[in-house]
């Protein structure tokens, strides 16, 4: 019984990790309320989650705000770019889906292919900003080439993203029952899972870190 409540035991470590993820999710939600700041809050969330994956000591709240402030400019600019690109692609899909032309389906396929590549890049963009210092253009280039080079990891990240989208839609459809779970784990739990995969993809680039 004493082992169960041992601070260094597996049970207490797991409970501590769950509590940290709940705190992180609330921080992410609060800092994402203006929407335009969601890029910076997502970068901060990835930064802390990747440290947690590597069992690096970190103060959750202090570390989150430090990363949020440090990456605010680049993350915000690139996040605005992400919103514009996905907005344009959504608009294109809507237009072509109602297009009465023989080019309707080829154009829809093209839009979906571009969307897929953009999603792949999106999955790497904010983790790269959380882990490396670089220019905005280099972040974009690296996100593209890494998503193509590490395709098995990219597919794994995409599956987790799909589960995240499904879970959050389910919460919204059953908001009276599952809202507390969404508030505590709607983003952090899935970013933590993606961080496990991401650290494997980034391993060749981290040297002896």
Q: Is residue 5 part of a domain?
A: no
Closest CA to 127 of 59, 179, 205: 205
DSSP state of 53: H
Amino acid 3: pLDDT: 52
Q: Is 78 exposed, middle or buried (0-12, 13-18, 19+ CB in 10 A)?
A: buried
Domain count along the chain: 1
Rg (the chain; Cα; Å): 19
**3 within a domain of the structure (yes/no):** no
Q: Is 4 among the domain residues?
A: no
Measure CA 41 to chain center.
Answer: 10
In a domain, 130, yes or no: yes
What pLDDT does residue 71 have? 94
User: Rounded to two decimals, what is the model's pTM?
Assistant: 0.92
How does DSSP assign 118-168, residue by residue?
A: HHHHHHHHHHHHHH----HHHHHHHHHHHHHHTHHHHHHHHHHHHHHHHHH
pLDDT of 142-182, one tens digit each? 999 999 999 999 999 999 999 999 999 999 999 989 999 99
Establish if 149 belongs to a structural domain: yes
Distance of CA 156 to the CA centre of its chain: 13
Which regions of the chain are under pLDDT 70? Answer: 1-9, 57, 207-209
Q: What domain range is 155 assigned to?
A: 10-205
């Amino acid at each position: 019984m004493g082992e169960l409540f041992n601070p260094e035991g597996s049970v207490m470590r797991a409970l501590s990790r769950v509590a940290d993820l709940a705190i992180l999710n609330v921080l992410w939600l609060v800092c994402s309320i203006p929407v335009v700041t969601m890029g910076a809050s997502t970068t901060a969330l990835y930064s802390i989650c990747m440290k947690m994956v590597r069992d690096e000591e970190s103060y959750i709240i202090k570390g989150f705000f430090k990363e949020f402030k440090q990456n605010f400019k680049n993350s915000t600019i690139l996040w605005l770019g992400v919103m514009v690109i996905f907005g344009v692609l959504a608009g294109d899909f809507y237009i072509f889906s109602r297009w009465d032309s023989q080019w309707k389906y080829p154009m829809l396929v093209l839009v979906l292919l571009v969307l897929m590549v953009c999603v792949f890049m999106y999955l790497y963009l904010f983790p790269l900003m959380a882990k490396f210092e670089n220019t905005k253009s280099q972040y974009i280039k690296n996100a593209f080439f890494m998503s193509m080079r590490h395709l098995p990891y990219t597919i794994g990240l995409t599956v987790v993203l799909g589960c995240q989208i499904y879970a959050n839609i389910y919460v919204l459809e059953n908001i009276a029952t599952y809202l507390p779970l969404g508030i505590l784990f709607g983003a952090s739990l899935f970013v933590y899972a993606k961080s496990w995969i991401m650290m494997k993809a980034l391993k060749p680039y981290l040297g002896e870190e």
